[in-house]
Amino acid sequence: MIFVPNFSDIFLQFIRSRNNNTAGKALIYLTIDHLTLTGMNYKFLAIRLLLLATLWLGVSPMAVTAQERRVQNKPYIDLRQLHFGILVGIHMQDVEFQNVGTQTLTNEDGTTSERLILTDADKWNPGFTVGVLAELRLNSNLSLRFTPSMHFGAKHLTFIDLDNTDENGHYRRQTQDMKNTYISLPLDLKFSAPRWNNYRPYLMTGINPTINLTAGSQDNVRLKRMGSMLEIGMGCDFYLPFFKLIPELKFCYGLGNSLDTKHIDELRDANKRAYAGSVSKAQNKMIVLTFYFE
């Protein structure tokens, strides 16, 4: 999850940085340094991300007006109608479950019993991302971007059986390492601020259809093969002498129910059905730090 500190502190440090012509560097530093993977409150994250984006695209260009013009690297690269490139990155995966509570199960002898199992993904898991980039220029500030990628990672699930205890009186637990290899086909709209010298900040948002290539047939819980995610993020184009480097941080949130609800009927182990039936809904989450090279 994400914790972003007090924005008044960031804003004051940013304004002070204008006096020594390091506004761009200060904003980049504050953006990356204060995004710590500790927890995520999505309501406050959305508000703070919007404020940071306003600061990123609005205040930053005004703050650098006192800087002197420098020689521009790759001055005509953004005038091309179509851009191509490659991307590499790292990401963190998570999934949010909706537990059903107490279940009524039918035993093999025909009797019924009640069972309460809590299911949760207890941590964010790191992964690796690789892909390609195609970007279509719409006008001087807008572009349409297609970035087919592969995400290699996993999710760690914990099942707590509240109706069974071990010899020490602790609730019995089971874990599942859910391996995930996703093909993602995101289509994003990118809004860029005017270029100044050799950098250009931007915001992006879009829809990311995904295909899950790895799903265990006899795992306790299984996610759907097909899904989609809403993504929003920010980045900055850095114009280097021989290529353009684009670091980007984005947040992805699953749309709809990602849980394969038919999986419970395919399980051969009756005990696993209790774990599979403990949840009714799942939503994927992902935080992706990507580096594009054009």
pLDDT tens for 80-134 read: 999 899 999 999 998 888 888 887 777 666 677 777 888 888 888 899 999 999 9
Q: Does domain 74-293 have CATH number 3.60.10.10?
A: no
- Output 209 or 64, whichever has higher pLDDT: 209
Residues 6+ apart with CB under 8 A from 148: 131, 132, 183, 184, 185
- Output 270 or 55, whichever has higher pLDDT: 270
Encode pLDDT of 36-51 as tens digits: 444 445 445 555 555 5
**Domain range list for the chain:** 1-68, 74-293
Q: In a 10 Å sphere around its CB, with 0-12 CB exposed, 13-18 middle and 19+ buried, how is residue 210 labelled?
A: buried
Angle between helices 42-54 and 7-17 (to 10 degrees): 20
